[in-house]
Structure 1
Amino acid sequence: MSQLTSRDFESLKEELKKRGYKLTPQRRSIVDTIIDNEGKHLTTEEIYDEVKQRCPEIGLATVYRTILLLEEMGVVYKLDLNDGCSRYELAHVNETHRHHHLVCNSCGKVLEVQDDLLEDLEAQIESTYKFKILDHSVKFFGLCEDCKEK
């Protein structure tokens, strides 16, 4: 699990300040919750449930607004895993693209593929279509190892 350093939080504070916002204790708690639950792909409501334990006074609307702001800033990515929910994960500075996800159709487990499997395909697309790819999102649906064995 990667933690944001104090320098990362300073950068986040500066970016918020440029946009006319502050890194309030509530916003910091939301970011901390996303970091602490990295790899779990939480919904806004799940993030709210976790944050409420740290900040009992926080409202669901504050969490929604903050998640949208963090997504706009590129701090988090929204994931659609075809389950009717928007889920969120931390955006890593060193990732040039989002990582791929393996989604089990049976139990709903989500595994992350750390390798970028599409580098060659991207280069071919960029060359053929003269199209500069900035990002991509790939999800594979199937059965995880446990469900496959059942």
Structure 2
Amino acid sequence: MTKAPTQKPDYEKQLRRAGVRITRPRRIILDILSSTEGHPDALEIFQMASKADSSISLSTVYRTMKLLEGMGAIHRHAFEGGPSRFEQAMGEHHDHLIDIETGDVIEFKSDRIEQLQDEIARALGYDIVHHRLELYGKKRRKA
């Protein structure tokens, strides 16, 4: 298994192409999204953005995230037991392992899992058009 690759998206360019005006608060949010690793939630994005500009509201963050999600620029994940988290929509397909104790989200890719899913779908008479795999676990303690 390998960790999914990360690329830096140009959200501002995508929004401009869609005819969306880039305000100062929106630019700050976009910069945070482009430079943040992982899967931040809206509150984490808001906290980082408000350090740069205290006039940014949580509703501005939510509206910007909804806009980006609607354009397909980001994916929203509603991992069990926590707030919605966001990640860039670029890059290869990958799956997630969520640490139930810390909330950490670990990205991974497994060709074996992908092949098995294809085999199961084919055996049942289906072609997979989309899927999402989320594993929930906790770190093993050393004995």
2:69 is equivalent to residue 71 of structure 1: yes
Amino acid of the structure 2 residue aligned with 1:109: D
User: Paired residues, what number?
Assistant: 137
Larger RCO (CA under 8 A, 6+ residues apart) = 2
Instruction: Give the Cα–Cα distance (whole angstroms) in 1 for the partners of residues 50 and 116 of structure 2.
Output: 44
Deviations 1:56-97 (A, max 9, x none): 2111111111111111111111112212311111211x32x3
Amino acid of the structure 2 residue aligned with 1:111: I
Matches within 5 A, 1:97-112: 97=93, 99-112=94-107
Amino acid of the structure 2 residue aligned with 1:30: I
The counterpart of 1:14, out of the listed 17, 21, 28, is 17
Q: Matched residue of 2:80: which SS?
A: coil
The counterpart of 2:50, out of the listed 49, 52, 63, is 52
Q: Structure 1 57/106 Cα, relative in aligned 2: closer, same or farther at 3 Å?
A: closer
Q: Matched residue of 1:26: which SS?
A: helix
Q: Matched residue of 1:61: which SS?
A: helix
Equivalent in the alignment of 1:25: 24
Please give the TM-score of this superposition, normalised by the length of structure 2: 0.78
Greater helix proportion: 1
Q: Percent identity?
A: 30
Are the equivalent residues in 1 in contact too, given 2:15–2:21 (CA < 8 A)? no
For structure 1, the 5+ residue unaligned runs are none
Are the equivalent residues in 2 in contact too, given 1:13–1:22 (CA < 8 A)? yes
Give the Å deviation of 1:131. 4.3
Give the Å deviation of 1:143. 1.9
Give the Å deviation of 1:24. 2.3
Q: Structure 1 149/107 Cα, relative in aligned 2: closer, same or farther at 3 Å?
A: farther
Q: C-alpha root-mean-square deviation of aligned residues, in Å?
A: 2.4
Are the equivalent residues in 2 in contact too, given 1:38–1:90 (CA < 8 A)? no
Equivalent in the alignment of 1:4: 9
Q: Structure 1 64/139 Cα, relative in aligned 2: closer, same or farther at 3 Å?
A: same
Give the Å deviation of 1:11. 3.4
Q: Structure 1 53/116 Cα, relative in aligned 2: closer, same or farther at 3 Å?
A: farther
Are the equivalent residues in 2 in contact too, given 1:78–1:88 (CA < 8 A)? yes
Amino acid of the structure 1 residue aligned with 2:21: K
For structure 2, the 5+ residue unaligned runs are 1-5
